[in-house]
């Protein structure tokens, strides 16, 4: 494969302050046989021309999982869903990567695991734009790397995860500007917007409990997990996240009222849309930044914080337009066995 990214060097310029070293890509290792799993739902889309066979391992209301689902729906891709229990995480015991989302893709010779919501989207988008390339080869352009973060701690990340690789010629100035804009807002969704959510949906003990009860309902936990585990996830999770949310507020430098931080983030996004004068950041149709921001916000749709957000900002018009766009492309959701 001769897959070339004209923008690849820019990633290293952006991250020049990191100390980057390669690390073993054990998480990306090809799996010869599919791990045992029980799909809870299937999304069937008759318009799917991707030739992809995907299983998404998720927490239903995880913002990063919601991002991946939003992408798959926007691209009219069929996929299976495995709801992972947040306590025991039995469904992903086969993986060295212990976070969600994980996407398992059927490829020649076995199954290719994909992880990190942003990398998953970039890898799949690269594949869709150039189906002459094999998914197993595309993954090689997104290696796992180890670096020293701002706190001086060693951590890992996926290199190039905000970049779409392609064989096309160098774009003109307008195309390059659009790509840079899309990439910057995808980063903003991951580094700013998502960090305003937890301090808001777990703001008080009562709000945390309301949030977890909504998680239980929308995630179908009672259909998937034993009652004792549901109770532990709801009541134990609500108590734990209320405590943790205070630390997250401090960690992500959210000063003052957490609701205002959420409102400010939404206003930053809608301000960019107004400046462009288009329905979506991508213009007449959503781009990857629109999909990412929508996916993140959809994770709190049933929470009090989201209702407050709609009432106190003008995010609603864009959000509703995104939902209509998603619904027009999304496949049918079927419970397994239906």
Q: Establish whether the linkage from the previous residue to 19 is cis, with ω within 30° of 0.
A: no
Closest CA to 191 of 219, 149, 246, 143: 149
The Cα–Cα gap between 163 and 167 comes to: 13
Joined tokens for residue 330: 């999304």
Tokens 């400046």 belong to: 275
Burial of 11 (0-12, 13-18, 19+ CB in 10 A): middle
**Choosing from 59, 127, 141, 163, which is the catalytic residue?**
59
Q: Is 303 a catalytic residue?
A: no
Q: Is 59 a catalytic residue?
A: yes
DSSP string, 50-108: S---EEEEE-TT-HHHHHHHHHHHHTT--EEEEEPPTTT-GGGTT-S--SS-EEEEEET
Residue of 28, 64, 162, 319 marked active site: 64
Helix (H, G, I), strand (E, B) or coil at 332: strand
Catalytic residue, candidates 41, 57, 62, 202: 62
The whole-angstrom separation of Cα 1 and Cα 150 is 36
Which residues does the annotation mark as catalytic? 59, 62, 64-65
């Amino acid at each position: 494969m001769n897959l070339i990214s004209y923008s690849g060097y820019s990633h290293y310029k952006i991250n020049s302050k990191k100390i980057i070293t390669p690390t073993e890509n054990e998480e990306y290792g090809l799996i010869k046989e599919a791990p045992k799993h029980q799909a809870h739902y299937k999304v069937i889309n008759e318009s799917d021309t991707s030739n992809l066979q995907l299983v998404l391992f998720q927490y239903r209301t995880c913002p990063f999982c919601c991002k991946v689902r939003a992408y798959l729906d926007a691209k009219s891709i069929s996929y299976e869903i495995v709801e992972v229990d947040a306590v025991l995480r039995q469904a992903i015991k086969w993986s060295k990567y212990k976070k969600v989302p994980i996407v398992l893709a059927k490829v020649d010779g076995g199954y290719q695991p994909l992880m990190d919501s942003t990398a998953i989207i970039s890898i799949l988008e690269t594949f869709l734009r150039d189906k002459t390339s094999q998914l197993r080869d595309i993954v090689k352009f997104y290696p796992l790397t180890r670096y020293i973060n701002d706190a001086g701690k060693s951590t890992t990340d996926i290199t190039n995860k905000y970049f779409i690789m392609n064989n096309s010629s160098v774009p003109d100035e307008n195309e390059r500007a659009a790509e840079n804009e899309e990439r910057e807002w995808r980063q903003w969704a991951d580094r700013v917007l998502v960090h305003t959510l937890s301090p808001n949906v777990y703001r008080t003990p009562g709000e945390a409990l309301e949030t977890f009860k909504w998680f239980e309902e929308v995630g179908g936990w009672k259909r998937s997990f034993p009652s004792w585990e549901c109770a532990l996830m709801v009541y134990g999770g609500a108590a734990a996240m209320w405590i943790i949310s205070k630390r997250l507020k401090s960690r992500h430098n959210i000063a003052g009222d957490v609701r205002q931080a959420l409102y400010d983030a939404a206003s930053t996004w809608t301000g960019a849309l107004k400046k462009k004068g288009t329905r979506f950041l991508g213009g007449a149709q959503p781009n990857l930044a629109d999909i990412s921001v929508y996916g993140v916000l959809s994770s709190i749709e049933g929470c009090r914080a989201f209702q407050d957000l709609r009432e106190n900002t003008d995010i609603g018009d864009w959000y509703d337009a995104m939902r209509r766009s998603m619904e027009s492309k999304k496949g049918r959701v079927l419970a397994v066995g239906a």
